[in-house]
A = this chain, B = another copy of it.
């Protein structure tokens, strides 16, 4: 008898990289078990011996597949989901378009998020954090907006939802948190608003996660 287990997502409600993967899982209709890793409690549960052995970078998300393999890093996890659960698709077949979509996703994934994630903020002085984060999100959004002016249709790349759309709302959430003036970025803002109306995106929001404190819901 074949036993099928659900994959396990190690996540933190406010982690933008966990949020991306939650969106991708929802779009593809993959049921999963949610295991919360609290990034602040107990000195950061991501630093525990047990979790570190799964994810040596001590970051969320990690995805434990039904075979027990543990995958890390949000974009590689999403590429895995795309290969294993190809429908609905998050990448078209054309190699040039795939590269353009992946590049848009990397503008957020390596161009913005790493500079304002929790680990970096914890290393900065208290009075530097807000200005630092605002600067790098603004810097990346200037480039992203210019690129989206060319690539976007209804969503970031044409009229279908792709990999980069999974990355956009969490980054806009952080932009608002650090008081970036989103009026400068009408294309990003418009797409983010449209994505926010889709069920798969709604259910992935921090406020909908089991580890979201009730006063933040």
List chain A positions with a Cβ less than 8 A from chain B. Answer: 56-58, 65, 67, 69, 71-73, 75-77, 79-80, 83-84, 95-96, 98-100, 102-103, 106-107, 109-111, 113-115, 119-120, 123, 135, 139-140, 142-144, 146-147
Contacts of A56 in B (CB 8 A): 142-144, 146-147
- Smallest CB–CB gap between A22 and chain B, Å? 17
Contacts of A106 in B (CB 8 A): 73, 75-76, 109-110
Contacts of A140 in B (CB 8 A): 57
- Smallest CB–CB gap between A44 and chain B, Å? 14
Give 10 closest A-B pairs by Cβ, nearest first: A76-B102, A110-B110, A56-B143, A80-B99, A73-B106, A73-B103, A56-B146, A57-B143, A114-B114, A76-B103
Give CA–CA (A135, B124) in the complex, Å. 12
- Smallest CB–CB gap between A184 and chain B, Å? 14
- Smallest CB–CB gap between A78 and chain B, Å? 9
Pairs A–B under 8 Å by Cβ, sample size 15: A56-B142, A56-B147, A57-B107, A57-B140, A57-B143, A65-B96, A73-B102, A73-B107, A75-B106, A76-B98, A80-B99, A83-B98, A111-B114, A114-B115, A115-B120
Most B CB atoms within 10 A — which of A75, A99, A140, A143? A99
Give CA–CA (A89, B44) in the complex, Å. 39
Give CA–CA (A66, B199) in the complex, Å. 41
Contacts of A100 in B (CB 8 A): 71, 76
Give CA–CA (A73, B98) in the complex, Å. 12
Tell whether A135 pairs with B123 under 8 Å between CB atoms, given A57-B143, A103-B72. Answer: yes
Tell me if B73 and A110 are in contact (CB < 8 A): yes
Tell me if A102 and B75 are in contact (CB < 8 A): yes
Contacts of A123 in B (CB 8 A): 135
- Smallest CB–CB gap between A70 and chain B, Å? 9
Give CA–CA (A115, B65) in the complex, Å. 30
